[in-house]
Amino acid sequence: MNQIILYVIFGIMAIMGGGSSLFMVVALPAVIIWKIYRHFKYGCKITD
């Protein structure tokens, strides 16, 4: 019984870690592309 609980906790931790990693992999390039788009379309600084 104790080992089953450990597997469940490990699974939850793996899902949480995978979700946050996936978010970072998707969000970082999206923000960079959005900043480049705004730079060329509106003339904003990339660092704004």
pLDDT of res. 39: 95
Map tokens 């104790």 to a residue: 2
Range(s) of the domain holding residue 12:
1-48
For the record, the structure tokens of 30 come out as: 């999206």
pLDDT of residue 9: 96
- What pLDDT digit, counting tens, does each position of 1-48 carry? 789 999 999 999 999 999 999 999 999 999 999 999 999 999 999 887
Total count of domains within the chain:
1
Burial group, residue 35, by CB count within 10 angstroms (0-12, 13-18, 19+): middle
pLDDT given at position 20 = 93
Residues 6+ apart with CB under 8 A from 45: 39
Question: Residue with structure tokens 């904003």?
Answer: 44
For residue 36, the model assigns a pLDDT of: 95
Contacts of 44 (CB under 8 A, 6+ apart): 38
